Structures are given as C-alpha cells and as structure tokens.
Structure 1
Amino acid sequence: MIKDSKFLNLIKDVDRSFKGWDFSFISGTGRMSSGLLSWSYGSQAISLIQGTNTMLDMGTGGGEFLSMLRPFPQTVFATEGYKPNIAIAKERLEPMGVTVVPIDEDTKLPFENEQFDLILNQHESYSPKELRRIIKENGSFLTQQVGGLDCVGINEALGVFLNNEFLNWNLKSAKNELEKNSFQVLYSQEEFPFQRFYDVGALVYYLKAIPWQVPGFSVKRFENKLYDIHKIIQEKGFFEVKQHRFMIKAKAL
C-alpha cells in the first residue's frame, strides 16, 4: 500500500469537476503545458470567417473557442455530440446568435445540401462524404486533428495499448479521405509537440477528462503505475509525452 501523503493528496484531483472543454484548472495554473505548433488554427479560422456568410463549427464543446472568433458571419451553426456540453454551449453561444445543434452521429447531420460556405473542425471526428454534402462548391474546410499516436507515452507508462481504431489516423490518411470525396487540399502540416505534466494530479485530471486515451481509467486500477510517474516527476521535474497534431485546409470541388 502506498503511504506517500503528497502522492495521495495529488491523485484526489481526479474527483475535481470538469465542464465543457476547459482545462484551465491544470493549464492555466501551469501544471500542464504543451509545445508550440508551427501554425495557428485560430488565426487561420479568423481569416476564413471574414467574408463568409454561412458557417458551421463542428464539435464546439462548450463553445469556449468559437465564442472568441467573433465577429461572426450572418448565419452560424455549431454541433455537439457530448450531452453534458450541449446546455453549456447553448448558454454561451445562443445569445451571440449561434444555433447549437445536438448530434448523434457524424454520417447523418441535420443540414441541407451545400448549406455552408465554411466549416470549422477542431479535434472533432467527421465523415468526409457527409462533409462534402453540406458544404458549398468552393467552400472552405479547416480542421485541426488529434492524431492516433497522441500521448502514446501515457499509455506506455501505464501499460495500456492505444486504441487500434485510431492508430492510423494521421495526415496522410485524412488527406486521402478528403481527396476521394471531392476536396482539394490547399495546406497541410503534421507535428509532434511535447506535452508535460508537472504533477501527477494534473495527469489524473487530464485522463478523467479524456476517457478514450486510457479506457477504463481509474486511480485505483493504475495506482502503482501512477506512483512510478509521480517518482519520475519528483526526480526530473515533469513527465513528458508527445502530442500528435495535424491541420488541413481544403476547398470543396
């Protein structure tokens, strides 16, 4: 039985509440940090919004990011599939004129054919075929994706395999899928910046918020492995893994 009081107090952060898509409890306090990417999704999104009439933000979370992209076009929709986020997104976005639409699956979206000039997608799954149906000819699609090798170091440290369903999700496969569905890729980039956790409490909070990283995660199940990570942090100052990110800007043909 582990009796290290500092470790035991830190892992209690797994019980902290998490709402929307807000990691400020650990990122805003410097307990977790990430390396910089060579691109800015936000800057490219703002540039594309200018002169656009109809826009969709896919997987808006609690609307935190979208709310910072104002001024908006005349018509803006946002989708969200995670039920706890829907009410949060509506409360934040609807006063700004954004229509928030709950969805259940990517392959059947409740929109008309060729409805949008611009579709934004940050870290959300999508169906290229359905995407092409709802975007106008010459419309723009901008996405930043989390690749299948994201934070594999966490899984290795905990002795858990990555989900094979996403293992081959990368820039090459995403570009191929889009091109097969009548998109022209105008810009693409893929990188592996670091992600650091400066205490084990930040790590357990993070894993609770993203349950797909380590399915079935619980502090009790992985206590010994977490304590090993805690000792690494005590010795080195942080626990570092590699993120996997890629971005694509494409035009519908």
Structure 2
Amino acid sequence: MDVFESLLAEGGAVPTEGWDFSWFEGRATEARPSWGYASSLAGRLAGASAVLDVQTGGGEVLDFALGRAASEAPVLTVATESWPANVAKATALLRPRGIAVVASPEDAPLPFADAVFDLVSSRHPVRPRWGEIARVLRPGGTYFAQHVGPRSVFELVEYFLGPQPAAVNSGRHPDRERADAERAGLQIVDLRAERLRVEFHDIAAVVHFLRKVVWMVPGFTVEAYRPRLRALHEQIEADGPFVAHSTRHLVEARRP
C-alpha cells in the first residue's frame, strides 16, 4: 500500500464520536481564540446554581470546565445533545459528576420549563435557538458561548466544492447573531470575533476532519473525492501544510 492509500485508510478508520480533537496532534493545528472559552466557562460555573450546556457533543468541554471550576458543580447541571453516539459518550463522561445528558434534536424546543437556568452555555452550537435560550433563562441569567463564525475553514470547503456564494454561512455572522439575540429579548454584554490559522499536515487529517465535521463537505466520502484527495496529498507533500482559517466568536448575552 502506498503512502497516500495508507493515509486515507488511517483517516477513514478514526472514530468520529465526541469533540475530542487530540488525534490531530502532530497532524493538524488550529490557533485558539485569545479568550480561552473552556477556562472562562469554569469561572462562570463557579457562580451558577442551575446550568444548561446545549449541544454538549461528547461532554468534553463541560467536563473540563467543571474540573477547573473553583467550587463544587452547580446544584443543577444538565446537558443536551442530538447525535446518539455523542449522547452515549457524554453520558459516560458526565454521569459520574451527577450530570444528566438529555437527548434533544437540534431543531426541537428545549425540553425544560421556562426560567429554570441562570447560566446556559454552548461551544460551537450548530444553530443557536435564541428564543429557546431566552425562554429557559431566569431573569438576570446569562448565555455564555463560543460560536463558529461565517465561512470557517472555507479554504478547505472550496478546495472540494469550488467557489461558494458570499451568502453561504451568512447567518453565522456575529452582527446577524447580535440582531437575532436582541429580537429574542436578550441583551448582548460581550461579542468578540477572531480569525485563526488552521494547518493540515497530511491527508489523513483532512479525511478525518471532513468525516467528523460533516456539514463542511456534505456527503463527503473518500471514494467520491479520491481524485481531489490525491491532488491535495501531492500538494501537501510538495509545498507543506494546507492552510485555512477558522472563525470564532465569543458571545455573552443576558436576559433582562
């Protein structure tokens, strides 16, 4: 088996459950936002009594933040997740901390009563549902989250799909999200955006990334994109890492 085929096989075999990206160490890098979301969340958890983590993935970020918090976990801490494989992974990770993981579709109302939580958090929600966030927050409660911004890692997307219209992903723009949050009755306390360098050092990292982040190149399979993968492999071998840029924004909103 040649190097290309070996790397394809390796990238195609890595499990995709959860949001643990440790497999990419040495194979891909992404600069981190200056605000340090997980550590900042830890500080928020220390002062909260009832917390909801929306679209928790495999629970890794919430678990890390709870481990860094300066006090015991809030009296009530709940997480939601829609993907069954991630529900199972998050449950195994968070249950020892006494945290329930609720299976809830991304597009369904949050399965909680009004005004239950004083902190709602989320790292990289597919689509923030501002009305639901506002509904479950107590008056004076806070939404604290890190969102994926517009056209994130689009250099890689456009390598496979060709040029994309400027309007693609426009709903993720922080100005659009500010307006949507305010329409839902929330007050924006902080909104910061950064553009960050991403490098893919081999084609296995590209394959695993596109299998894991499935909305980047919808319907991606190795067989469907083998010619483009071969060309990209040769480009990386000749010129070095494939460079893209992620976009992230930190959102803090308050229910009056």
User: What TM-score bracket applies, with the shorter chain setting the length?
Assistant: over 0.9
Change (3 A) 1:144 1:112: same
Indicate the residue corresponding to 1:236 in structure 2: 239
Structure 1 range deviating more: 8-17 or 173-182? 8-17
| Cα distance in 1 for residues equivalent to 2:107 and 2:43 | 26
| Selected match of 1:37 from 33, 45, 49 | 33
1:25 aligns with 2:23: yes
Q: Determine helix, strand or coil for the equivalent of 1:226.
A: helix
Q: Give the partner amino acid of 2:228.
A: K
How many residue pairs are counted as aligned between the two chains? 248
Q: Is residue 160–residue 214 contact of structure 1 (8 Å, CA) maintained in 2?
A: no
Offset from partner CA, 1:93-147 (integer Å, 9 cap, x none): 1121111111024441110110000000110122111111100011011111112
Q: TM-score, normalised by structure 1?
A: 0.92
Q: For 1:161-180, list aligned pairs within 5 A.
A: 166-180=169-183
Indicate the residue corresponding to 1:101 in structure 2: 102
How far did 1:44 drift? 2.0
| Cα distance in 2 for residues equivalent to 1:162 and 1:128 | 27
Indicate the residue corresponding to 1:51 in structure 2: 47
| Cα distance in 1 for residues equivalent to 2:185 and 2:161 | 41
Q: Is residue 38–residue 62 contact of structure 2 (8 Å, CA) maintained in 1?
A: no
Change (3 A) 1:65 1:134: same
| Cα distance in 2 for residues equivalent to 1:190 and 1:35 | 13
Indicate the residue corresponding to 1:68 in structure 2: 64
Instruction: Give the 4+ runs in structure 1 shifted more than 6 A.
Output: none
CA RMSD across the alignment: 1.7
| Cα distance in 2 for residues equivalent to 1:64 and 1:107 | 23
Indicate the residue corresponding to 1:91 in structure 2: 92
| Cα distance in 1 for residues equivalent to 2:240 and 2:100 | 45
Indicate the residue corresponding to 2:154 in structure 1: 152
How far did 1:162 drift? 5.1
Q: Give the partner amino acid of 1:22.
A: D
Q: Determine helix, strand or coil for the equivalent of 1:229.
A: helix
Offset from partner CA, 1:36-59 (integer Å, 9 cap, x none): 322111222112112210000111
Q: Is residue 79–residue 99 contact of structure 2 (8 Å, CA) maintained in 1?
A: yes
Task: Give 5+ residue unaligned stretches, structure 2.
Answer: 67-71
How far did 1:161 drift? 5.6
Indicate the residue corresponding to 1:252 in structure 2: 255
| Selected match of 2:129 from 117, 127, 130 | 127
